[in-house]
Amino acid sequence: MTMMNRNQKDITILYPEGKIVLGDGDQELGEAVHHFLEQGARKVIINFSKVSYLDSSGVGELVGCYTMIRQQAGDLRICCLSARIASLIKMTSLNSVFAVNDTEDEAIADFR
């Protein structure tokens, strides 16, 4: 997995690319979130548009990211989920925990 990022005003947007699975991408996601929290980020969007696969370890890491962000008085939005990942989030009832947006623009607007 590779990770790109950008800032839009006070919002940090992460762009993981590839698979977020046990041993490949799961820890990198958490490390990236931790890094940006240390840099002062409190509004984080994870854009899943280039994530091809998410397994249970990836879901667990996403929950860990959410917890880490909330402990720092921050907030998380996820967006641009594939049908499969959206189904997984819904099946695990995490759609009631995470703020899920269809597009990045909606996620950004959701912070305003």
The residue range of the domain holding 68 is: 2-106
Q: Give 60-76 pLDDT, tens digit per residue.
A: 999 999 999 999 999 99
**Could you give the CA distance from residue 27 to residue 102 in angstroms, rounded to a whole number?**
25
Q: Give 41-53 pLDDT, tens digit per residue.
A: 999 999 999 999 9
Residue 65 within any structural domain of the chain: yes
Q: What whole-number percentage of the chain has pLDDT above 90? A: 88
Strand partners, 4: 15
CATH of the domain at 17: 3.30.750.24
pTM to 2 decimals? 0.95
Query: Are the C-beta atoms of 76 and 89 separated by less than 8 Å?
Result: no
Quote the pLDDT of residue 3: 94
Average pLDDT, the chain: 94
Segment 52-59 shows an average pLDDT of 92
Query: Are the C-beta atoms of 58 and 26 separated by less than 8 Å?
Result: yes
Residue 111 within any structural domain of the chain: no
Residue 22 within any structural domain of the chain: yes
**Could you give the CA distance from residue 16 to residue 31 in angstroms, rounded to a whole number?**
12
Q: How many domains does the chain have?
A: 1
Neighbours of 112 (CB within 10 A): 6
